[in-house]
Amino acid sequence: MTIEDIKAHLEKNTSTTTDEFKRVFHGRGGLYEGWRHLTIDSIDDILSVALYFQEDSEAELIDMLISFIKYSKYKTLVVQKRYLQGSPSEVLVGELEENLYVIENGIKIKLNLLSNKNSGYFPDMKNGRSFVRENAKDKRVLNLFSYTCAFSLAAKFGGAYEVVNVDMSKGSLKVGMANHSLNNLDPRGTSFLPYNILKSFSALKKKGPYDLIIIDPPSFQKGSFEATKDYEKIIKKLPQLASEDCVLLSCLNSPNLDSNFIIELMKEWAPSFRFIKKLENLEEFASLDEEKSLKNLVFQRKINNK
């Protein structure tokens, strides 16, 4: 695939974009030979580009993007070089508003495109959030590893009775609170707990039982969570946290672990939860091997074969 091919790809994929977020080029999935290092996102009138490692074609690619911006509907071009220390971002064309947010299914989520870490929004999880929104009505929801609480927004929009957000990062929870305010959501019935999840099961149990539980951990976060050894610890505690007919959304974003990793752990340590289905990933995040990308697994608890 040449840079001219990418240009044609952009022209086609941006022709129908709206003010809602859409990934318009996903090289990370390995479908475009030679471009695994590149992603391009459409965010209203912003084109946001991430480069995961350096290639000789980088300067030519950026020149093409700057040229593309001039005759497109986009006003701003942001490029993040994830391969450099600190993952610096630079606005190459236009400017960014101070209080930037992304829109997903009508929900507003604060966005920091100049962050040296994550932007505050994981777009590939859209179908997971849609599932929560569709299944949250009148339920008590536990959102583990809540980050900036996008799942909580989905649950509240879906009519959740109560949502408990848990994350070690007070900064992320503060953004989560701002996200709820941004959407004019009633703060009653929503809590934001800066807990170490692996050490706080007794406190969480007191607030339960929960009718819908979301587990969306990082694959690996030094000093906090490592999927290969820590996911099991959470699954072991699920029966103590869950209501009799609890629905579980178990998420896994490690390329080295497949769906069976979670399914087998559930069979061994929480057998009352039965595997229902794996949610489909978004078409624009297609991968050569779907088991190496995001896995969203749905389980339903059944007590005594009810």
What is the total count of domains within the chain? 2
CB 238 within 8 A of CB 206: no
| Both tokens assigned to 11 | 């022209």
Tell me the sheet residues that pair with 26: 39
Do 207 and 65 share a structural domain? no
Ranges under pLDDT 70 in the chain: 116, 219-224, 304-306
Quick check: is 101 in a domain? no
Nearest to 24 by CA among 3, 4, 48, 51: 48
> For 81-117, how does the pLDDT look when each residue is reduced to its tens digit (9 = 90+)?
988 888 888 999 999 988 899 999 999 999 999 876 7
The amino acid at 207:
K
Nearest to 111 by CA among 168, 165, 170, 46: 46
Mark whether 56 and 143 lie in a shared domain.
Answer: no
- The H-assigned helical ranges of the chain are 3-13, 58-71, 126-135, 150-157, 170-182, 201-207, 227-241, 259-269
Q: Does one domain contain both 78 and 156?
A: no
Contact between 210 and 162 under an 8 Å Cβ cutoff? The reply is no
Tell me: do 128 and 223 sit in the same domain.
yes
Residues 138 and 278 in one domain: yes
pLDDT (tens digit per residue) in 201-222: 889 998 889 999 999 987 655 5
Partners of 39 in the beta sheet? 26, 50
Within this chain, do residues 72 and 175 fall inside the same structural domain, yes or no?
Answer: no
CATH number at residue 229: 3.40.50.150
Residues 286 and 204 in one domain: yes
Q: What is the pLDDT of residues 37-67, one digit of tens each?
A: 999 999 999 999 999 988 889 999 999 999 9
pLDDT of residue 304: 65
Q: Is residue 113 part of a domain?
A: no
Q: What residues form DSSP beta bridges with 252?
A: 295
Based on the domain organization, do 230 and 136 belong to the same domain? yes
Which residues form the domain of 212?
Answer: 123-301
Assigned token pair, 201: 């099961």
Whole-number Å distance between alpha carbons of 101 and 175: 12
Q: Is the pTM of this model over 0.95?
A: no
Tokens standing for residue 116: 């040296």
Residue 105 lies in a domain: no
By CB atoms closer than 10 A (0-12, 13-18, 19+), residue 148 is buried
Quote the tokens at residue 173.
Answer: 């929870």
